[in-house]
Chain A
Amino acid sequence: MKAPTAKSSAARRQFLFDSARMACGVGLLGLGLGLYAKQARALPALALRPPGALAEDQFLGACIRCGLCVRDCPYDTLSLAKPEAPVATGTPYFTARQIPCEMCEDIPCVVACPTGALDHALADINQAKMGVAVLIDHETCLNFLGLRCDVCYRVCPVIDKAITLDHQPNLRTGRHAMFLPTVHSEHCTGCGKCEKACVLEQAAIRVLPPQLAKGELGSHYRIGWEEKNKAGHSLIDESEMLDLPDRMPEGVDLPGHYDPASGKTAPARDLPDGGVLAIPSKPPGLGDSP
């Protein structure tokens, strides 16, 4: 190997110095960008992605910000995020309260997407999951106040599946029913028509990203009545079930109480047949045991 001359050694040092400087400078820029990218992933709750959009962290790698989905949306629902918007710059989104998704059957926005950021596997718009509607404010919703507004229910494109009206007694008046709009997340596409149509100054029902709107059971949880329906019988031997004695103050008896030890129900007061039929006293799951 040739011994380095003073000149070549100086040149090499200069090269290393320049490279290190460049790597540090550009590395800092990259660090800033990376942190910014991390922030950009936090999509605000009310900004909804078009139908078929991949999960947010996937979406930001697949979407090339071309705006073809915006162009092919017939209802001007979608727009591309401007730099000052709290959505990653240039990506498509919509705000349900302004213009909701009309759920076109041919889903032109998905067809137009050149990258699959909007998943082309989505062929049925009813399978879209742009978000989940949540009746978020029970204090101002007119139906919760006992009125028959029903607007969110009426405008729902998946009426009677995604939103149903659940009847509850109105305990305030004691003589009326309340018709409570109830969202069923497996059918809700998150189109946002309910949020758009809500008659309040601020919508009581809002479309939120599924991960915000949904709880999740522990993976080991089994819902007894569903398992029973699936299996055709209860998964446990109900005759072996132990009902520990209720801790009642001494000398007190509980009218209508079912005692599994004797299999007898204590008579209820003031009722002609002892109240056995009138009071649902048996705990769920034991109703049909002998």
Chain B
Amino acid sequence: MSAVKRAGADAIAAKGWVIAHKWLILRRLSQFAILALFLLSPLLGAWITKGLLWVAEFTNSPDVMALYQRWIDSSLSRVWIVKGNLNYSYTLGFLPLTDPFVAAQSMLAGHVPEKLGLIGLLITVLFYLLFGGRLFCSWVCPLNIVTDAAGWLRLRLGVKGSVHLGRATRYWIMGMALAGSLLTGTVLWELINPVSMLHRGLFFGIGAAWMVVLAVFLFDLFVMRRGWCGHLCPVGAFYSLLGRWSPLRVAAPARAACNDCMDCFEICPEPQVIRPALKGEANGVGPVILAANCTNCGRCIDVCSKDVFTFDLRFNNPVSTLPLAAPATDRSARV
């Protein structure tokens, strides 16, 4: 049908499929593993109980029977790995995690969480301050899988045209949600938040939430390119601000090797963040992507056949990254 080169094809040819999808695969593993931890909790204990009973009956061994007895007597057989959902979760009766955006709305509505809620808030805030707020978006959020699918399909189907809306819209919506929580005394965005609707739905019964998720998918597919995560979602906006100064960043230290194939721009959910770092040599801008909206998804690292990008620290940001000696000729040869 099309002779158009698919984004990432060069990388696959150069590095092989697996390496050219390394971060994507790790990201999906992370997202699904987190879902699995929430989902398996009630089932895992029951499965082990069944398995032990089956083995005990099959082998007819008193030792296994005793083990089974000890298992069902122990609290381990009833333990939840993770309870709750992304708004607040409690892992192994030990680790509380609180979503900072929800907590912020609740506090503006006039309520301070209990001790565990506050500890959980502290942990998540510190974590995302260090590792980049939008790590949540690309490595944890279940709706990201949906919008990534829409984005992928949009490229595949060659859907042209996209409603224009500034990428700052999400900050306005975030501000509205926070101010609205203050004014109404309710956790306002939770009334319609598709992210928590989806995650909660998966573990507490989805009801009509699938329609909301489908709506986001179709919106991203047909109405606006990267519409939800890239323009509207106030949760992502909040995490952007949270990770504004995080040390962990994607950088383009080998930007001199860039051959302008544009694959990274094509594939990036927030393509505007790449240019300053990738094309900053002439302007005296370092190679680290400092824009808060970068989700640290690492997809640009995957699709670059020249290995321009890598994960790095924000401090590792020299103004110039031109190779010092011999590679100069190498570079002219490429051009």
In the assembly, what is the distance between CA of A240 and CA of B116, in Å?
Answer: 65
Question: Could you tell me if A85 and B207 are in contact, using CB atoms closer than 8 angstroms?
Answer: yes
In the assembly, what is the distance between CA of A139 and CA of B102, in Å?
Answer: 48
Q: A26-B172, A67-B84, A67-B85 are in contact. Are A115 and B113 (CB under 8 A)?
A: yes
Q: Could you say which of B80, B106, B173, B190 contacts A89, with CB atoms under 8 Å apart?
A: B190
Tell yes or no: A161 within 8 A of B by CB.
no
Residue of B nearest to A30 (CB): B176
Tell yes or no: A116 within 8 A of B by CB.
yes
Tell yes or no: A109 within 8 A of B by CB.
no
Tell yes or no: A225 within 8 A of B by CB.
no
Tell yes or no: B197 within 8 A of A by CB.
yes
Q: A83-B208, A115-B113 are in contact. Are A60 and B187 (CB under 8 A)?
A: yes
Question: Could you tell me if B98 and A64 are in contact, using CB atoms closer than 8 angstroms?
Answer: yes
Tell yes or no: A82 within 8 A of B by CB.
yes
Question: Could you tell me if A60 and B186 are in contact, using CB atoms closer than 8 angstroms?
Answer: yes
In the assembly, what is the distance between CA of A37 and CA of B188, in Å?
Answer: 7
Tell yes or no: B322 within 8 A of A by CB.
no
Count residues of A near B (Cβ-Cβ below 8 Å).
Answer: 45
Task: Tally A-B pairs: CB < 8 A.
Answer: 154
Interface residues in B196-211 (C-beta closer than 8 Å to A): 196-197, 200-201, 203-209
Tell yes or no: B247 within 8 A of A by CB.
no
In the assembly, what is the distance between CA of A41 and CA of B111, in Å?
Answer: 17
Contacts of A40 in B (CB 8 A): 186, 191
Q: Could you say which of B114, B177, B205, B208 contacts A114, with CB atoms under 8 Å apart?
A: B114
In the assembly, what is the distance between CA of A57 and CA of B110, in Å?
Answer: 11
In the assembly, what is the distance between CA of A32 and CA of B61, in Å?
Answer: 66
Q: A114-B120, A120-B114 are in contact. Are A22 and B207 (CB under 8 A)?
A: no
Tell yes or no: A86 within 8 A of B by CB.
no
Question: Could you tell me if B169 and A67 are in contact, using CB atoms closer than 8 angstroms?
Answer: no
Contacts of B208 in A (CB 8 A): 82-84
Contacts of A220 in B (CB 8 A): none
Q: How far is the CB of A237 from chain B (nearest CB, A)?
A: 51
Interface residues in A4-52 (C-beta closer than 8 Å to B): 18, 22-23, 25-27, 29-30, 33-34, 36-38, 40-41
Residue of B nearest to A118 (CB): B114
Q: A27-B176, A34-B184, A37-B184 are in contact. Are A89 and B197 (CB under 8 A)?
A: yes
Question: Could you tell me if A41 and B186 are in contact, using CB atoms closer than 8 angstroms?
Answer: yes
Contacts of B110 in A (CB 8 A): 61
Residue of A nearest to B205 (CB): A82
Q: A60-B185, A60-B186, A115-B113 are in contact. Are A80 and B191 (CB under 8 A)?
A: no
In the assembly, what is the distance between CA of A63 and CA of B120, in Å?
Answer: 15
Tell yes or no: B161 within 8 A of A by CB.
no
In the assembly, what is the distance between CA of A72 and CA of B79, in Å?
Answer: 11
Q: How far is the CB of B210 from chain A (nearest CB, A)?
A: 9
Q: Could you say which of A22, A38, A41, A80 contacts B172, with CB atoms under 8 Å apart?
A: A22
Contacts of B206 in A (CB 8 A): 82
Contacts of B83 in A (CB 8 A): 67-68, 71-72, 112
Residue of B nearest to A28 (CB): B176
Q: How far is the CB of B214 from chain A (nearest CB, A)?
A: 12
Tell yes or no: B263 within 8 A of A by CB.
no
Tell yes or no: A97 within 8 A of B by CB.
no
Residue of A nearest to B107 (CB): A61
Contacts of B200 in A (CB 8 A): 65, 67, 80, 90
Tell yes or no: B180 within 8 A of A by CB.
yes
Tell yes or no: A88 within 8 A of B by CB.
yes
Tell yes or no: B192 within 8 A of A by CB.
yes
Tell yes or no: B181 within 8 A of A by CB.
yes
Q: A22-B168, A114-B117 are in contact. Are A83 and B212 (CB under 8 A)?
A: yes
Contacts of B177 in A (CB 8 A): 30, 33
Q: How far is the CB of B90 from chain A (nearest CB, A)?
A: 6
Q: Beta-carbon contacts of A95-108 to B below 8 Å, as 1s and 0s?
A: 00000000000000
Highest count of chain B CB atoms <10 Å: which of A22, A34, A38, A64: A64
Top 10 closest pairs, chain A to chain B, by CB: A82-B207, A61-B109, A114-B117, A66-B88, A62-B111, A60-B186, A84-B208, A30-B176, A26-B172, A66-B84
17 contacts between A and B (CB under 8 A): A33-B180, A34-B183, A61-B110, A61-B186, A64-B99, A64-B102, A64-B187, A64-B190, A67-B200, A83-B207, A83-B212, A85-B207, A89-B190, A90-B87, A90-B196, A115-B111, A116-B113
Interface residues of B (CB under 8 A from A): 80, 83-85, 87-90, 96, 98-99, 102-103, 106, 109-114, 116-117, 120, 166, 168-169, 172-173, 175-177, 179-181, 183-192, 196-197, 200-201, 203-209, 212
